[in-house]
Structure 1
Amino acid sequence: MVNKPLHVTVNGIEQPVEDIPEQLMMLDYLNEYRNLTGTRFGCGIGVCRACTVIVDHEDGRSEEIRTCITGAHYFEGKSIRTVEGHAERDENGDVAKLSEVQQQFLDHFSFQCSYCAPGFVNAATVLVERLQREPIPRSQLEATISDALESHLCRCTGYVRYFRAVRAAVLAMPGTTVEG
Structure 2
Amino acid sequence: EQLMLIDFLHEYLGLTGSRLGCGQGVCHACVVILDNADGSSEEVRSCITGASFFDGKKIRTVEAHATCDESGKPVALSPVQQKFLEHFSFQCGGCTPGFVNATTVLIERLKRQPIERSKVEETITEALNAHICRCTGYVRYYEAVKDLVLNTAGLVRNV
1:68 to 23, 40, 47: 47
The residue type paired with residue 65 of structure 1 is V
Q: Does the Cα contact within 8 Å between 1:25 and 1:69 map onto a contact in 2?
A: yes
The alpha carbon displacement at 1:130 in A equals 0.1
TM-score by length of 1: 0.86
The alpha carbon displacement at 1:91 in A equals 1.2
The alpha carbon displacement at 1:125 in A equals 0.4
Structure 1 residue ranges, 4+ long, deviating more than 2 angstroms after superposition: none
Alignment of 1:18-167 (within 5 A): 23-167=2-146
| Sequence identity percentage | 62
The alpha carbon displacement at 1:104 in A equals 0.2
Does 1:179 pair with 2:158?
Answer: yes
Aligned length: 159
Task: Identify, as 1 or 2, the structure richer in helix.
Answer: 2
Higher deviation after alignment, 166-175 or 145-154: 166-175
- Secondary structure at the counterpart of residue 49 of structure 1: coil
The alpha carbon displacement at 1:92 in A equals 1.4
The residue type paired with residue 80 of structure 1 is I
The alignment yields a C-alpha RMSD, in angstroms, of 0.9
Larger relative contact order, structure 1 or 2 (CA cutoff 8 Å, min sep 6): 2
- Secondary structure at the counterpart of residue 52 of structure 2: helix
Give the greater-gyration-radius structure (CA): 1
Gaps spanning 5+ residues in structure 2: where? none
The alpha carbon displacement at 1:115 in A equals 0.4
Gaps spanning 5+ residues in structure 1: where? 1-21
The alpha carbon displacement at 1:96 in A equals 1.2
Task: Identify, as 1 or 2, the structure richer in strand.
Answer: 1
Distance of 2:9 and 2:157 partners within structure 1: 38
